[in-house]
């Protein structure tokens, strides 16, 4: 009976930082629009690369811990009980520092750019498409989540 209520759970996001763009239920690809901001410290290219990493990480964290709003299959988080801190979770630490997540991104591109003059920070939005089916299988194979129904 609790499974029925879990499917109806309202999904929250990290505020305006993430917006659902679409989902291909056949291929399992979920696309979100994610904001990333940071200081422009070296060059524009280095800044964009760093912000692309931040946006990708936010998209995966949303999929893992909060779920994707308006998604058919991923409205509920993949790992609601997993420790979110990379200091305490060795799997997540390795996943993000080694940039292992990149193999699950099917497309990422910049959708907008804004520089804030007051604090010299950039705010760039990226469209990030994730192969959620392959990512879910990867989590199952690494023992981070159980296979559905088991």
- Locate the domains of the chain by residue range: 20-141
Between 119 and 139, the more confident residue is: 139
Whole-number average pLDDT of the chain: 78
Measured in degrees and rounded to the nearest 5, phi and psi for residue 108 equal -145, 130
Q: How many CA within 13 A on the CB side of residue 70?
A: 11
Give yes or no for a contact between 128 and 31, defined as CB atoms under 8 angstroms apart. Answer: yes
| Partners of residue 24 on adjacent β-strands | 29
What is the pTM assigned to this prediction? 0.78
pLDDT in tens, 50-86: 888 888 999 999 998 888 988 888 888 888 777 776 6
Helix, strand, coil tally for the chain in percent (to 5): 35, 25, 35
Q: Is 59 exposed, middle or buried (0-12, 13-18, 19+ CB in 10 A)?
A: buried
* CA–CA separation, 99 and 117 (whole Å): 31
The 3-state DSSP class for residue 74 equals coil
């Amino acid at each position: 009976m609790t499974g029925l209520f879990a499917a109806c759970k309202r999904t929250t996001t990290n505020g305006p930082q993430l917006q659902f763009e679409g989902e291909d239920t056949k291929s399992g690809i979920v696309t979100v629009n994610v904001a990333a901001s940071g200081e422009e410290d070296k060059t524009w290219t280095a800044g964009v690369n760093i912000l692309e990493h931040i946006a990708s990480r936010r998209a995966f964290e949303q999929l893992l811990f909060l779920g994707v709003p308006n998604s058919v299959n991923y409205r509920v988080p993949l790992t609601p009980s997993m420790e979110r801190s990379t200091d305490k979770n060795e799997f997540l630490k390795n996943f993000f520092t080694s940039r292992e997540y990149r193999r699950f991104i099917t497309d990422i591109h910049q959708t907008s750019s804004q520089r804030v003059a007051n604090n010299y920070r950039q705010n760039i939005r990226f469209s990030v498409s994730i192969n959620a089916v392959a990512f879910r299988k990867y989590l199952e194979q690494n023992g981070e989540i159980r296979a559905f129904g088991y």
